[in-house]
Amino acid sequence: MSPNRPGSARLSGSSPAMTGSFSTIPGRTRQSRAAAVMFDLVIVALGVLGAYIARFEGAIPANYFRQMLVLAPLLAAVRVSVNYAFGVYRLVWRYMGLLEAVRMAQATLVVSAVLAIFRLGIGDLLGTPYLLFPLSIIVMEGMFAFLGMAGARFIPRILRERVRHDAGVPTVLVGAGQGAMAIVKEAIRHPELGIRPVGYVDDDPDKAGRMIANLRVLGTVRELAKVIKHTGAERAIITSSAFGPKAIARVMDACNPLNVEVRIVQGTYETLGASADPAEPAASQFVREVRIEDLLSRDPIPPSLGLPDLITRFGGKRIMVTGAGGSIGSELCRQLARMQPAMLFLAERDETNLFEIERELHQAKLAHLVTPVLLDIMDGKAVERAFKDHQPQVIFHAAAYKHVPMMERFPWEAVRNNVLATKQLVELAVEHQVESFVMISTDKAINPTSVMGATKRLAEQIVQELAARTHTRFSCVRFGNVLGSRGSVVGIFKDQIAAGGPVTVTHPEATRYFMTIPEAANLVIQAATLGSVGEVFLLDMGEPVRIFDLARQMIRLSGFTEQEIPIKVVGTRPGEKLFEELSTTSENLSPTELRKVFRCKPTPIDKARIDALIERLQFVVRARDGKGVRDILTELDIGYREPTPTRGETA
């Protein structure tokens, strides 16, 4: 197992502070360059002498000795001049590597090639004995010059690496690919990281027992526990974000009983758009602790469309994000701001959340692209005024009530926000000739058992019905639970673990689909490039995760056992299902040109019937009649059924 991905390659350290490829040393630059020039003059002169001694086996004839005395200073001056032209004297000796050696080889080869051409083309014509030097001299002198100049520059690095090899915490590297070698380099160059690699484990049979970057592949990932005991390692680093959840879980299982810390290379979404601090070593920026999202039962899905493609689509547009201060809305704003919009309108009713996302984008030097809009989408007049003032061309509708148990207590509020406000929003989008409108939906909208899920399914139908008779490109994006969102199960479990437990699970067999916030936001943005007639797009989210297993993994990641932090089954809450669905059998799921993004073909909708039921919903909402809301939702052709809550086992 030796995955090698771009995300891990960044560990090699691209900043000048790390590579030193063309770094200069302020205050001492001139002195160090002068010393390097004098050193090379001596090396080249000795190289010429060595070439003549080797050519004539120590007995240099008098005429060739005089030729050598003329050639040595001339060639030394030429080589130093060419080295200067190739930037050799801007290199920092202690950071010499392959790229720097290649640069020196190029400078050496150019001089030798010109010397050979001169000897063959002009030397014979002039007939001057000083120019009729043997071709073997040219070859040997070039070799000696390169070996002398490059070899001397490698000595400081060799000494430095030998002295610091024993510093830091003994660490096993999981995976022996490019990422692992980059970590080895960073550990040697930056002992302050506290990493002392002791070897690798890798499942590639061709690497077993081999030496890579002066360290041995000590076994397979399955043998990690034995390798840790043998080497005395106190840390394991998973060297690529390409490792699958099952492989990461195996590493955790091996390390936890031995109290060995586990860290992992950051992935694509985490480093996307991140600005590295050149003062920090690369490994400190892109290696982190293992998180619960690393243990999901599906691999991360890289985006199909790159940033340049999305800039082409959204660059120069006036874009509005509703719910801009929420978990998904704020991430949408972060990603959209990098797509060079003409203006990004942050529509949010919570002034604290609005302040935070605006401040974050200001700190990222994107203030010129951002306009905050303090707006409650349930205030019809305020929404209409916002459309007139800002004239958005693209709308991402992320504002919604999402917490299932809370909406069971206030069903009329779920209808006001998720249905009636969405209806007015899409109608205004048509009226103001918005180009594209994307609504964020949820897997709870399929065969809903909760008021929240039913209102989101009705909102999907409103979007689909209007899309069939307008030029605005409408679409919906449907996905499962989002890790790290406010009020999510992960946050609840973290709080319960921090309080000493127990961790409460509604049912031992309850399952959910999960995705990360950056993935969810990216899917929404990419779907906006596809939608045209109200399609619902969804992501192939792999296998659902058992909540009981999620609780166990989080307890383990927190450094506890189930004896220390028990798990308690408390029974399902009103509106909750044991498992979620992403589509119905009638939605005709089909692939799209985007990787693992699927299209649900819109089903015919009876507009007159929908309008009549929405009119009745408005009446019961004004009356705050919860039973009336549920009765009408049951009449809608959306599969809504009000469940009878069940109680699970107790632990």
The sign one gets for the Cα dihedral 364, 370, 374, 375 is: negative
Beta-bridged to residue 522, according to DSSP, are: none
CB atoms within 10 A of CB 471: 10
Q: Alpha-carbon distance 488 to 581, whole Å? A: 18
Catalytic one among 423, 444, 456, 577? 444
**Tokens of residue 489, six digits:** 């199960």
Residue 444 falls in the annotated catalytic set:
yes
**Tokens of residue 12, six digits:** 């090699």
User: How distant, in Å, are the alpha carbons of 75, 312, 402 from that of 537?
Assistant: 69, 21, 19
Strands 287-289 and 261-265: antiparallel
Q: Alpha-carbon distance 610 to 394, whole Å? A: 26
Beta-bridged to residue 52, according to DSSP, are: none
**553, 295 in Cβ contact below 8 A?**
yes
Q: Alpha-carbon distance 555 to 501, whole Å? A: 10
Any idea what the Cα angle at residue 269 is, between residues 268 and 274, rounded to 5°?
Answer: 90
DSSP one-letter code for 272: T
The per-residue DSSP string of 141-187 comes to HHHHHHHHHHHHHHHHHHHHHHHHTT-SEEEEEE--SHHHHHHHHHH
Any idea what the Cα angle at residue 442 is, between residues 492 and 524, rounded to 5°?
Answer: 105
Which helix (H) or strand (E) segment holds residue 591: the answer is strand 589-591
* Buried-exposed string 248-259: b where 16+ CB fall within 10 A, e elsewhere: bbbbbebbbeee
Q: Alpha-carbon distance 10 to 512, whole Å? A: 33
Considering only CA atoms, give the Rg of the chain.
Answer: 33
Total H helices, total E strands in the chain: 25, 22
Positions annotated as catalytic residues are 444
